A = this chain, B = another copy of it.
Amino acid sequence: MIYVTRKAHFNAAHRLHNSNKSDKWNRETFGKCNNPNWHGHNYTIEVTVAGTVNPETGYVIDLGDLKGIIQKRILDKCDHKNLNLEVPFLEGIIPSTENLVKAFFQELEDDIYEASYGDSKLYSVKLFETERNLAEYRPNPSI
């Protein structure tokens, strides 16, 4: 099994807020991450495809294609945006790193399957919120 990874960067504003709860609950639960005037991050996303190598090209997936899919599916929709207000596929989601990374996986999955060789497929999405905090979604850890 070969794993191929591509990294990309984007900047966005967000806040952590559960609209089903009171303002008091939100302030106590999320602290400064609940600031109603927003804060933001330079996010780094790492997308890993697992599979077999096309003997004609030496590629599991053409990294130019993978770069294009990340650009179209994630960066065009999220870069310099407000993740709570402006990203349709994040509607109704508290934009914690955990929730973002799962939503990004689902947004990327189909395009990557079509662009990869053979039965290769999306294996993992990692998202760094800061250099010290990150989440990874890897639904099939045993492969």
Contacts and interface: CB of A to CB of B under 8 A. Distances in A.
Interface residues of A, number: 64
A9 interface: yes
B132 A99 contact: no
A71 to B, nearest CB: 13
B3 A138 contact: yes
Q: Indicate how many identical chains form the complex.
A: 6
A32 B97 contact: no
A40 B37 contact: no
A2 B64 CA distance: 28
7 contacts: A2-B135, A2-B137, A3-B138, A11-B40, A37-B86, A58-B98, A141-B142
